[in-house]
Chain A
Amino acid sequence: MNRCSNPWFLRAVRHHIRNLHEMRIPYARPVGPNQRNFTLEPLGNRELIRVHGAEVVPFLQGLATNDVARIQSPGGPASMYAHFLNKAGRLLYDTILYRTNNPETILVECDREASSDFRRHLRTYRVRRRIEVDSVDDEYTPWVMFNLKDASEAVPNPHPDLFVSPDPRLHVLGTRILAPTDMDWSKLSKCFADFGTATAASSDNSYQLLRYKQGVGEGCSELTPGKCFPLEANADYLHGVSFHKGCYVGQELTARVHHSGVIRKRYMPIRLTAPIDVGSSQDVTSLAGAKLGRVFGFAHKHGIALLRIEKVLNGRPELMIDGERCYVERPEWWPEDLPGKRRMAFAE
């Protein structure tokens, strides 16, 4: 019997490892303020858009998958993950919305390649509302701080010109920092010198690699506009969809699938054993040759693929890409009891 493919055995091993980790904690030396280490990386492929106007919240509320009213309420989150959909319910733009000091201004982070189309999308639905939609690419740049030993530790804001927010999707994805454009890596790492020691990202230690290990897609090269649904991009697990808000563009299909439909595919992390030929089909198949999905991004032996959940999780973890073997991994941040094909509303 192959114990590695036995789900009970794998769960027991994981449980044991978790206990072992917990037992180490009381004996660990407490980490002093200057002993934190983290990686600091600019997000050159992300751009910030300022949406400004007295009706900015109802305006975005009618377009975004998440409950934008929460972001402006007292005690609300500093940022939230949200998708903007076309009227057929397919994902167009994956964004992070940031609250600002001005209640009439929300900053929206989106893919740089999609920024122009996204601004046009917003202006299309503006109609007669007095809403300004402008890129602030020349003023602010998004950064990410990750690889803290304690991923859920709150990062203090050391400078009034900075905006610091934990990643609203997953703790392990680190902390988003919005910094003035004229701040380079040296200046920004000095701002956090009291908090810890910054390391620059490298090819084997990058935010993109971290996302691939976790199976989180981002941007239009991975979440192709108009091609997938927010639930396939795990927006429900990443706190990007509210099923208790009012109408928004594309809502019908998202709500229907959540309450009574079937989610057959989701983005999942894969571990590669050989480099993928860029010109190849990127198809993922089972060992027997059945097509199970497609790769949308890869780097350094890790990648992200849109895969058929049931076949992948219930079968062997080995898959094939272009004749080479690879392994799919169930993300740790997925809910423990993955629901069956048909979700039940009262189970929420």
Chain B
Amino acid sequence: MAFLLRQVARSGLQRNLILMRHATASTSANPELSVQVSESCLKRLREICVDGSFLRVTVEGGGCSGFQYKFDLDKQLNEDDRQFGEAEAKVVIDTVSLEYCSGATVDYHSELIRAGFRMVANPLAEQGCSCGSSFSIKL
């Protein structure tokens, strides 16, 4: 049963990607698209989102592998936004960007060279570039 549900979800994702790639009519929000939010991300968001702001994730074209993630703090919810995480530690992604990273996990990473939010384990992403901020879509 779980296997069948997964098959349905996968074919739905593929259909959405095909629609997106061919730039046909904009697709309505698919309720099965979602992202996970890691505990370290929630912890960090609880620290910085004290003024009612939330983390906005956007996918942009560009970067040396084709697409890249953009992380911002925002207070304005738009009509096409989807919310994840907690009430006090929200992650917001617009439906278009969600098509490119559904199934991924929003993470907060701290290491000597850099600390910041990042998207990990994106099942729709192929290899990224050496600097780690750019990815290409599996076709």
Contacts and interface: CB of A to CB of B under 8 A. Distances in A.
Interface of A: 58-59, 61-63, 87, 120, 123-129, 247-252
A58 B59 CA distance: 14
B97 A128 contact: yes
A251 B67 contact: no
A62 B136 contact: no
B66 A87 contact: yes
B60 interface: yes
B2 interface: no
Interface residues of B, number: 22
Contacts of A123: 23
15 contacts: A61-B62, A62-B62, A62-B63, A87-B65, A124-B21, A124-B23, A126-B23, A127-B60, A127-B100, A128-B59, A247-B62, A247-B64, A247-B68, A247-B134, A252-B130
Interface of B (DSSP majority class):
mixed
Contacts of B130: 252
A58 B23 CA distance: 20
Contact of A250 (B23, B64, B97): B64
Highest count of chain A CB atoms <10 Å: which of B22, B59, B65, B130: B65
Given A127-B61, A128-B97, 20 more contacts: A59-B61, A59-B62, A62-B62, A87-B64, A87-B136, A120-B23, A126-B23, A126-B61, A127-B67, A127-B97, A128-B96, A247-B62, A247-B63, A247-B64, A247-B134, A249-B62, A250-B64, A252-B64, A252-B65, A252-B129
Interface string B56-78: 00111111111110000000000
B94 interface: yes
A10 B39 CA distance: 72
Contacts of A59: 61-62
Given A123-B23, A128-B94, A251 B64 contact: yes
Give me the 4 closest cross-chain CB pairs, A-B, nearest first.
A62-B62, A125-B61, A251-B64, A123-B23
A84 to B, nearest CB: 11
A125 B62 contact: yes
Nearest to B131: A247
Contacts of A87: 64-66, 136
Contact of B66 (A58, A120, A129, A249): A249
Contact of A63 (B59, B61, B134, B136): B61
A124 B63 contact: no
A124 B139 CA distance: 11
A173 B129 CA distance: 37
Contact of B58 (A120, A128, A248, A251): A128
A62 B94 CA distance: 21
Nearest to A123: B23
Nearest to B23: A123
A129 B61 contact: yes
